[in-house]
Chain A
Amino acid sequence: MSATVASPKHLLGMDGMSRDGLEEILDLTDTFAEVGRRSIPKVPALRGKTVASLFFEDSTRTRMSFETAAKRLSADTMTFTAGSSSLSKGESLRDTVEVIGSYGADAIVVRHGMAGTPHRVADWTDACVINAGDGCHEHPTQALLDCYTLREKRGNLDGMRIAIVGDVRNSRVARSNVLAFSMLGAEVVLVAPPTLLPPSVDGWPVSISHDLDQVLTGLDACYLLRMQRERINEGLVPSLREYASDYGMDARRAKLLPADAVILHPGPTNPGVELTVEVATDPRSVILDQVSNGVSVRMAVLFMLLGSVLDVAPSRSSDDSEADG
C-alpha cells in the first residue's frame, strides 16, 4: 500500500488548520492504527529520520506517546529534557533550539509551559516542529486523537453536541478541541464557573453554561478537563469538593447522559474530582481508547511531516536494532 500526503511544515495548532487537512490526518491514522494491532507493530516509514523531544514541562504520557509513535515508524529518537526555564541557565531558547538543530533533528516535538513557544522554535529551525502542548494555548495532537476517538465511536462529528467541562481558561486541550470539534461540524458548549472560562470567548464557536445537569441530557459527548489543584490556591474555585459537586461526573449525572454518549478525559484523571471511579469504568468512558489512539495519531502526524511515500509493509527485524540505536 502506498500513498502520498500533503506535507505542511509544522503542526503548531488547530488554529489555521482546514477541515480537509484535519480529516486527512484522521484518515491516515486508520492506517497506523492497523499497524499498531500487528504482532510486530513497526514499519520502516521513517528510517534514518530523527525525532527530538524538547520538553520544558514534565509530561511522561505525551512524551512516551510520541516516542512510541516515532519508534514504531523506525525513526531515531532523542530527548532533550530542559528545566522549566532556559533563561535561568543563562541560555536563550534560540540557543537551545540551534543546538538541537545541530544534532540533526528532522522533527522537534515541543512541550512548554508558555503559549507560543513552539511557534518561536519554528522560527529558528529547519526541522518540522510539533506542538506537544504550549501553556494554555493548544495541544493539537490531543485534539486529533480526541476527534479520532469520537469518529471511531460515533462515525463522524457532524451535528454532534459536545460539552467541554471544567478549567477551559487554563486548558490547551480545550482550545484545540473547540476548534477541531467545530471544524468537524460539532456544536460545542463550554460548561464551567465564570472563573474557569477564558476572559473572552467573543468569536469562539461555542455556547456557555454554568449548569452541567441541564446540559447533560442533550449531549453526544462529554469532555471532562483535568482540574489542577493549583486552581484552588489561585482562588478560582472555593474547593475541589465544591468543584466536584457542581462539575464532576458522578453516577447520578452519568444517568442523565444519553446511553450512546461518550465520556472523554485527556488524563491523568483526579479520581473523585472530574469523575468518580465508577464513571471511569462506565462503558461509555473511552479514556483508554484515547491513550492508544494517541500513538496512532502521532504516527500519522510524524509521517505526514517527515514521510514521503507511505509504505506500511512490516519492518524486517534487522531494521529494529538499527532504528533504535
Chain B
Amino acid sequence: MTDTRDDTVISIVGLTKRFNGRTVVDDVALEVRRGEIVGFLGPNGSGKTTTIRMICGLLKPDSGSGTCLGLDILTQSTLIKREVGYMTQRFSFYEDLTIRENLDFVARVYDLDDRQKRVAETIARLGLERRRDQLAGSLSGGWKQRLALAASVMHQPKLLLLDEPTAGVDPQARREFWDEIHRLAAEGLTVLVSTHYMDEAERCHRIVYIAYGRIVARGTVAEVIDRSGLSTIVVSGANVNRIAALVRGRDGVEQVAPFGNDLHVVGPDAALLKQAVDAAVAEVGGGVTAVPGATGLEDVFIRLMQQASVEDRAGNGRRP
C-alpha cells in the first residue's frame, strides 16, 4: 500500500436516514479500503439495505456526508453508479429475457466497448454457454445468483455492493459464490456485503455490525469476539437439558443455547460463569462434563443485539 488516502473506497460519516419520522440509519460512519471484503451484519430491519442504497445513490441521506470512490455521495451519485456494481437482495434482472439478452442489456446500459465479446466472455466464465438462450426466470436460485453477480461485475466496477446475496442459496452454491468474491477482491475489487449468516461473516476480512441503525461493533472477526469479553462453557453429557433449565437466569449467565448434544453457556464474566455452571452440574449430580469453549460470533451478535435493543430509544419504534 503506497498512499492510504488513495486506497480509501468508502468514507462516510454521520450518515442518517429517516422514513416517516423513524430513524432507520443513525449516524453511521464507515471506512472501506481497496480490495477489502467488508461484511455488513445486523438483524433484519437494522438498516443494512438502506445504508447500501445510500452509498450507491438509490436513496438520499437526510444528513451525513462522505465519498465513494472519491466521489461525493450527495452530489455525484450518477458518476458513482458507473463505478459501482450493485446486487439486490431479490433477483432483479429480467426473468422474461434469456441469460444472453439480460447480459446484453446490462452491457448496453453501461455503454461497454466490445459488447458482444464481453457478453460472450461472461457467459463462458459462468459456464452457461449451452443455456445462454434459456430464460433467466427458469434458472434455479443458485444460478440466478451467479448470473446476477456476473451481470453486476460485467462493467468492471471498482466497488461491489452485495445485499444479502446468498439468501435462499444452497451451501455449495454459496461456497462457490464466496470463492468468486475472494477472487474478485484479489484482483482489487472492493466488496461490501450484507449478510446475517455467521459463516459468511467469517469469510470477510472485516465486519461491521449494525443494530437499530447504529454501528455497534467493528473489526476483524477475532477482534469483535475478543472485545465482547464473553466466555463460553460447553456442557455435554446426558443431563444437558436439566443443566439448561438450572443455569438460565443465574448470575453471570447471559445465553444458554443447545448445539446438538452440547449446551453452550455464555456470560460476560468468566469466574461468575464457571461458578454458575459448576453449581448446576453439582445439583444434577454429575453425568456431564463442562469445559471452557470458544465463543462464537453468533453469541457475540446475540449479545450486541440485546444490548442495542435495550439502548434503543423508545421513540425510534424499531422492533427486533
Q: Does B bind A? A: no
Measuring CB to CB, which residues of chain A are less than 8 angstroms from any residue of chain B? Answer: none
Measuring CB to CB, which residues of chain B are less than 8 angstroms from any residue of chain A? Answer: none
